[in-house]
Structure 1
């Protein structure tokens, strides 16, 4: 894993996102960062999250500080670059107090920047209004899930709050892998009606993104979108995933939205770099918008249906 992380750093991808609930990821990144610094490589940033189990215990200033210090120890740093707070249930009190506790730790030098994750617009505004200097909100945002356009982007842009976005290629559902034409199946000599290969939902994240596809308009509209993305990609000499990422990046003022791309290996490293080599023009956006106009969802604010809203 360290070799893969080092390869990304050498290619200019020097920021990594993790969380205190992602198994041993903080320890792995801490070991990598220490070894990377010893090699005198380009500076790297590691962003983490604070995800308290609010169903078992309400956070206090001391428990928030203890969690931050645990992340510092695992990442082997005296100060965390960014801590993004997640709050599972808004009906459970204490969210603003926990945000203010993070702000206090920022003032003490334990945190450089405070952020949030999966906050809807009202929750984010409550934290900002209380005096928490929120730098970023991490949310799901893609061509399939455009809920950040329902108020979040409009709130964040003028205030200089960045949006880090996950799911921007839908776990691979918005990629060349699924963009090919249907193949003939069944019948004599395989001459039956053309069909696409079934989607193998072999991970929990793919199942989550497939649920988004269903809310977007179902498999046929998803396939129609892939067809248009393929045409746009061909015009620019890039991949379908490049186009999907570029669309997200160009929303708002073009400087607010920053997608996070999954890192399992180095196979997509060069392809990911191509996202920075082109822009979608008005003809590209119009072709994509024609498909998006047929979409039925998801509706509501960020992380709305996941919270049961």
Structure 2
């Protein structure tokens, strides 16, 4: 279980027994920092700001005052950002932010990127890998990338391990500080590790709705000191207060809820996970338990969803990535670090999870057609 230092976020405001969002504090939070196994001096925030929404598909408002939004998160203590070379203009936007933040004397930032080659068109050579790394360095305006996470679309296409080794060569040249992977299943990750690549992290989907990392991945990483960065841990909002509502009585007394507006690419993706989990009825039941646990601790349902993920394994391996759209959730994110779920909470959630039908398999399995 994680141990936390004191932090300065105010206790959640309460109205009618429900947690509400409050404005972010100007004072930085006293977050207990995490580190990778190979360099304990390098520290990053326990919750990571996800910048995939800058890739598009989430509305133009995401880009409005984006530099101020990024600075607000960093000023609050959330100094770690996750991006990718395929996330539209995200690297350029973060590069502008890094330059301004550093010039103003801000706290050190950690920017984690990804290398996602189009292996369907051409197999990457070591030179192409280094070129891509240098391209990300230029966009981010840094002399060394903090972390590059390799994604490989299709295992049947050869070259995955060779490209991981090419990234390790870039690390040896000082172009990259840490090498990681993303969406690798346990067998693929093991191949890369066995080839001699010092993998610092694997980024996978992991939530109450999608527990595939429990099918071997979490144990493998925990035993080797490999971190898990997790996306989708609040299901694009599907595991938050936003969808907490009392049903209306419908035809033949069947409960009716407001239809879910799948208005972003993330929601469409996570709704597919809901269907594999057991459908809308079981999801709604899970939301009910989340509500009760959240009220017990005086936090939000999203806080409970994130805490559940963070407490899996040894409590120090999993670090969720939380999407950065605005600043209204900064204080709420901080409350995730203010409490722990107890055995009764875990049992209540487990009673619902025990009836889930999926998703099955290892990380990123059905997405690859498995």
TM-score (norm 1): 0.97
Q: CA deviation at 1:194?
A: 4.4
Between 1:178-187 and 1:81-90, the stretch displaced more is 178-187
1:92 is matched with 157
Match status 1:38 vs 2:86: no
Q: CA deviation at 1:286?
A: 0.4
Alignment of 1:226-305 (within 5 A): 226-305=287-366
CA distance in 1, matches of 2:319, 2:77: 15
1:214 is matched with 275
Aligned partner of residue 207 in structure 1, secondary structure: helix
In the TM superposition, structure 1's runs of 4+ consecutive aligned residues that sit over 2 Å from their partners are: 183-187
Q: CA deviation at 1:100?
A: 0.2
1:145 is matched with 210
Match status 1:113 vs 2:175: no
Aligned partner of residue 298 in structure 1, secondary structure: coil
CA distance in 1, matches of 2:328, 2:251: 34
Match status 1:21 vs 2:86: yes
- The runs of 5 or more residues in structure 2 that have no matched partner are 1-65
Alignment of 1:47-126 (within 5 A): 47-126=112-191
CA distance in 2, matches of 1:177, 1:205: 15
1:307 is matched with 368
Aligned partner of residue 323 in structure 2, secondary structure: coil
Given the superposition, is the C-alpha separation of residues 202 and 81 from structure 1 closer, same or farther in structure 2, using an over 3 Å criterion? same
Q: CA deviation at 1:183?
A: 3.1
CA distance in 2, matches of 1:284, 1:205: 28
More helix by share: 1
1:201 is matched with 262
Aligned partner of residue 43 in structure 1, secondary structure: coil
CA distance in 1, matches of 2:164, 2:296: 46
Aligned partner of residue 260 in structure 1, secondary structure: strand
- The runs of 5 or more residues in structure 1 that have no matched partner are none
What is the aligned-residue RMSD (CA, Å)? 1.2
Q: Deviations over 1:223-274 (max 9, x none)?
A: 0000000000000000000000000000000000000000000011110110
Q: CA deviation at 1:180?
A: 1.7
2:247 is matched with 182
CA distance in 1, matches of 2:359, 2:247: 26
Q: Deviations over 1:61-95 (max 9, x none)?
A: 00000000000000000100000000000000000
CA distance in 1, matches of 2:184, 2:299: 33
TM-score (norm 2): 0.81
CA distance in 1, matches of 2:119, 2:150: 12
Q: Deviations over 1:32-74 (max 9, x none)?
A: 0000000001111110000000000001000000000000000
* Paired residues, number: 305
CA distance in 2, matches of 1:179, 1:194: 14
Q: Deviations over 1:252-302 (max 9, x none)?
A: 000000000000000111101100000000000000000000000000000
